[in-house]
Amino acid sequence: MIVGSFMLQLRRNISFCTQLLKGHSKWQNIKATKGKTDMIKSQKMNFLLRKVKSAVERGGFDLKLNKELAGLQQQFRSECLSLDSFNSYLRKLKDKPEATHYFD
């Protein structure tokens, strides 16, 4: 860079800090952390969906009439779980009811 009649030389310092050389470790750490949180979220989701199934068997599909089901929907919201999963699971239960088959 030239300023006036003086020539300034900008030098970039190179650092060989061990922290900078471990770039791959960051993503491994993120992967491990995300794996743990995804597993916990999946367990919560499966637990609540089992409760939804039993609530539907006891009280039906209507959220206005089935207070247990409405409470579970509120619990989905409070746990920051997807309401799309809740609604699609209800549709699945309504469209394809579970049937028990016996073989002799």
Locate tokens 């922290």: which residue? 19
Q: Convert 4-31 to b/e letters by CB count within 10 Å (16 or more is b).
A: eeeeeeeeeeeeeeeeeeeeeeeeeeee
Please indicate, yes or no, if residue 30 is contained in any of the structural domains.
no
Give the global pTM.
0.66
Please indicate, yes or no, if residue 65 is contained in any of the structural domains.
yes
Please indicate, yes or no, if residue 4 is contained in any of the structural domains.
no
Please indicate, yes or no, if residue 88 is contained in any of the structural domains.
yes
What is the domain range of residue 78? Answer: 56-95
Please tell me which residue, 56 or 98, carries the higher pLDDT value. 56
Per residue in 14-35, pLDDT (tens digit) is 666 555 555 568 888 888 899 9
Q: What is the total count of domains within the chain? A: 1
Per residue in 67-98, pLDDT (tens digit) is 999 999 999 999 999 999 999 999 999 998 77
Please indicate, yes or no, if residue 43 is contained in any of the structural domains.
no
